[in-house]
Chains A and B, each alone.
Chain A
Amino acid sequence: MSSPIPTNHGRRKFLQTTGAAAASAAIGLPMLATPRRASAAEKLVVVSWGGNYRTAVEEALVRPFEKEFGVAVTLVDTPDLAKVKAQVMTKNVEWDVFDAVGPMAMTGSKAGYWETLDPALFDRNDLVAPMTKEAVPFYGFTGGIFWDAKKFPEGKAPQTFADYFDVTKFPGKRTLRNRASETLEIALLADGVAPDKMYPLDVPRAFKALERIKPHIAKWVDQTPQTTSLVETGEVDYSYTYATRAKASQESGKPTQFSFKQNLIGLEYLVVLKGAPNKANAMKYVQFALRPDRQAALMDLHGNTPASKKARALMKPGVSKWLSDPQNKNNLLSNDAWWADHYDELTLKFKEWVLS
């Protein structure tokens, strides 16, 4: 209430507008009550994934960034593309930097939700994957097979995707993700498609292979934590999960095991929202997050593969056993550009197939 003039103006305008605008103004009203000068202070809003992921981002990126640039950073949990859509659509953008998995980043690019990134901000030769006009790779996450080592001793559990689909040799209940991306690739790898011949995906062949495994899938997992908890509680025998989750499971004392014989590597990207209120700071933050020393610090905590090649040498030796092997010819790197063009159509097709 310290600035009555904008508030009154806001209220009058608020009464004049209709429908959606009225609703968005109602949400925005408390903002109008804060004095203008508050926005003069250096601020930044970063969206991150919550839990121990968030703690690591706070420690390795946010606090050092605040110290170096004098910017107050607010961390918000859970990147949600639907919320981005709402913010950009109502021109009420509150987030600056967004942490997006590949298909999310590419879908957002297609919809025009991101600002263009200046390539001069990054050392492009140092990146493990090419950056796009709007998104820069942040790290790589490693998907693979996970099991209870107490139940299945060495050699008794499936370790490649072909094993995972071989229900006679490895009987038992399994999981797969309830999403088209990753799952279709796994099916094709299991069916014998070579990683370098993967894209464009042979979709009918993938579904045919999935048809084989469908009766043995106990749960099509939506919530990532379930990928490990279902194995830990004995609900399923093997599960598809990520090296970071397997690391957390082992570090909490569970007798679980993760296979590096064959991995699916997905990329996480950083993007800046279109019309971000603190755009200049956002650009500085993205550049900062790609610096080899910051990458090493964050990946030491997460156990993901850094996007900066130089960072790998700076990482703690104990963590490197959780990184996927770049020399392994069985591994597949997800092609997010291909997914950007097929994501919506295949997601729908996949969900309908799961239900049928």
Chain B
Amino acid sequence: MNARKEGWIYVGPATLFLFLVMLVPLAYVAYTSVTNAGGDFSLASYHRLFSSDLFKRTLGTTFQISILASLCSLALGYPIALHLARQTPRMRAIYMVLVLVPFWTSILVKSYAFTVLLGRAGLVNQLLSFVSGSTVQLPMLFNRFGVMVGMTNYLIPFIVFPVLASLLAIDKSLYRASEIMGAKPPRIFFRITLPLSLPGVAAGVLSTTVMSMGFFVIPALLGGRQDVMMSNLVDFYTRETMDWNMASAIGVILLGIVTLAAILADQAKRFGSRPGVPA
């Protein structure tokens, strides 16, 4: 009993704080989504959303962008984590700064920086023009490519950290044993490193996908007319048409999707970590 009381002293303030700043507003958003402008109960917002082409297209775009950005980040982030795992702790700390500096930089600043790099007359095109000797004007800004570059850049650290944690947790004697048994590096990677790092990969991919679902600044600054995501739509209904019932309904749907994804991922992880040593 005493210990229980003490426990409340530790978690009580945070619980109360979260209740006030998160659960109460969230309940209000859910409530707003099932009322109409007059405040009566109504499912009109959901009905309107599911019959709206704008919403359906945005939902599709959100999924496409989130999953693709997450996979791109994995493709680029995994080798970084692998490289970091092979360093001595001292060198790893130094290299880690290179991952952390962009991670700490404001997303707004980075997005504006990308407009300088990716523009029609931007640094990348200038470099390509210089190398090829003719005027190159690749369209890299205000389209899906720009969004991918911006989002991947933002998400890579969120892949590197969990994957690195999994890689460092692998027992070093496994590598030694496999070398003694005559395994070549590719075989070691595919039979030991990769399978044992999968929990980190799953955690990384899941968190980046879920995070991407709520992106706002990057599609707004680097995307084109086809790259509107759900949060841009929430912004549109909140600030432009001032239809908060619609905005709330989108918020609730987004929350539902993300919750569902988290539950599924949890199940998958449990299934994946069943007892049994890889052969």
Q: Give CA–CA (A23, B25) in the complex, Å.
A: 7
Give the residue of B21, B116, B142, B236 whose beta carbon is less than 8 angstroms from that of A233.
B116
The interface residues of chain B lying within 8 Å CB-to-CB of A22 are 20, 24
Interface string of B237-264 (1 = CB under 8 A from A): 0111111100000000000000000000
The winner among A20, A178, A355 for most chain B CB atoms within 10 A is: A355
B228 interface residue, CB < 8 Å from A? yes
In the complex, which residues 58-93 of chain B have their Cβ closer than 8 Å to any Cβ of chain A? 58
Q: Give CA–CA (A173, B20) in the complex, Å.
A: 49
The interface residues of chain A lying within 8 Å CB-to-CB of B52 are 352
Which of B162-170, B192-200, B218-226 lies at the interface with chain A? B218-226
Kindly list 15 other residue pairs between chains A and B, CB separation below 8 angstroms, not including A22-B20, A22-B24. Answer: A19-B27, A19-B28, A23-B24, A85-B242, A85-B244, A107-B242, A233-B115, A234-B119, A236-B120, A344-B243, A347-B240, A351-B236, A355-B57, A355-B226, A356-B57
The interface residues of chain B lying within 8 Å CB-to-CB of A347 are 240-241
Known: A20-B28, A23-B24, A234-B121. A355 touches B220 (CB 8 A): no
A71 interface residue, CB < 8 Å from B? no
Write 13 A-B pairs (CB below 8 A) sorted by A numbering: A19-B31, A22-B20, A23-B25, A111-B242, A179-B240, A222-B220, A233-B115, A233-B119, A234-B119, A234-B121, A344-B241, A344-B242, A352-B52
- Interface residue range, chain A: 20 to 34
Q: Give CA–CA (A80, B242) in the complex, Å.
A: 11
User: B113 to chain A: closest CB distance in Å?
Assistant: 13
B6 interface residue, CB < 8 Å from A? no
The interface residues of chain A lying within 8 Å CB-to-CB of B119 are 233-235
A348 interface residue, CB < 8 Å from B? yes
Which A residue's beta carbon lies closest to that of B122? A233
Q: Give CA–CA (A155, B23) in the complex, Å.
A: 61
In the complex, which residues 284-342 of chain A have their Cβ closer than 8 Å to any Cβ of chain B? none
Q: Give CA–CA (A218, B142) in the complex, Å.
A: 7
The interface residues of chain B lying within 8 Å CB-to-CB of A220 are 225
Known: A23-B20, A26-B21, A220-B225. A235 touches B241 (CB 8 A): no
A198 interface residue, CB < 8 Å from B? no
User: A339 to chain B: closest CB distance in Å?
Assistant: 13
**A82 lies within 8 A of B238 (CB):** yes
The winner among B31, B236, B238, B240 for most chain A CB atoms within 10 A is: B240
Interface string of B44-64 (1 = CB under 8 A from A): 000000001110011000000
Q: Give CA–CA (A356, B220) in the complex, Å.
A: 17
- Interface residue range, chain B: 20 to 34
Q: B residues within 8 Å of A by Cβ?
A: 20-21, 24-25, 27-28, 31, 52-54, 57-58, 115-116, 119-122, 141-142, 220-221, 224-226, 228, 236, 238-244
Q: Give CA–CA (A157, B240) in the complex, Å.
A: 33
Known: A19-B31, A23-B28, A355-B225. A82 touches B120 (CB 8 A): no
Give the residue of B228, B238, B242 whose beta carbon is less than 8 angstroms from that of A355.
B228
Q: Give CA–CA (A219, B53) in the complex, Å.
A: 22
The interface residues of chain B lying within 8 Å CB-to-CB of A26 are 20-21
The interface residues of chain B lying within 8 Å CB-to-CB of A223 are 221
The interface residues of chain B lying within 8 Å CB-to-CB of A5 are none
A194 interface residue, CB < 8 Å from B? no
A81 interface residue, CB < 8 Å from B? yes
The interface residues of chain B lying within 8 Å CB-to-CB of A1 are none
The interface residues of chain B lying within 8 Å CB-to-CB of A234 are 119-121
In the complex, which residues 95-123 of chain A have their Cβ closer than 8 Å to any Cβ of chain B? 107, 111
The winner among A20, A107, A344 for most chain B CB atoms within 10 A is: A20
Q: Give CA–CA (A179, B243) in the complex, Å.
A: 16
The winner among B52, B120, B221, B238 for most chain A CB atoms within 10 A is: B120
Give the residue of B28, B53, B141, B220 whose beta carbon is less than 8 angstroms from that of A352.
B53
**A81 lies within 8 A of B242 (CB):** yes
**A233 lies within 8 A of B121 (CB):** yes
In the complex, which residues 180-235 of chain A have their Cβ closer than 8 Å to any Cβ of chain B? 218-220, 222-223, 233-235
In the complex, which residues 5-63 of chain A have their Cβ closer than 8 Å to any Cβ of chain B? 19-20, 22-23, 26
Q: Give CA–CA (A220, B232) in the complex, Å.
A: 14
A76 interface residue, CB < 8 Å from B? no
**A235 lies within 8 A of B141 (CB):** yes
A280 interface residue, CB < 8 Å from B? no
Q: Give CA–CA (A328, B228) in the complex, Å.
A: 39
User: B48 to chain A: closest CB distance in Å?
Assistant: 10
Which A residue's beta carbon lies closest to that of B121? A234
Which B residue's beta carbon lies closest to that of A345? B241
The interface residues of chain A lying within 8 Å CB-to-CB of B242 are 81-82, 85, 107, 111, 344
A354 interface residue, CB < 8 Å from B? yes
Q: Give CA–CA (A356, B225) in the complex, Å.
A: 9
Q: Give CA–CA (A178, B239) in the complex, Å.
A: 14
Give the residue of B120, B221, B225 whose beta carbon is less than 8 angstroms from that of A235.
B120
User: A160 to chain B: closest CB distance in Å?
Assistant: 25
Q: Give CA–CA (A107, B240) in the complex, Å.
A: 10
Q: Give CA–CA (A324, B54) in the complex, Å.
A: 37
The interface residues of chain A lying within 8 Å CB-to-CB of B57 are 355-356
User: A321 to chain B: closest CB distance in Å?
Assistant: 29
Q: Give CA–CA (A82, B236) in the complex, Å.
A: 11
Q: Give CA–CA (A85, B237) in the complex, Å.
A: 13
User: A47 to chain B: closest CB distance in Å?
Assistant: 14
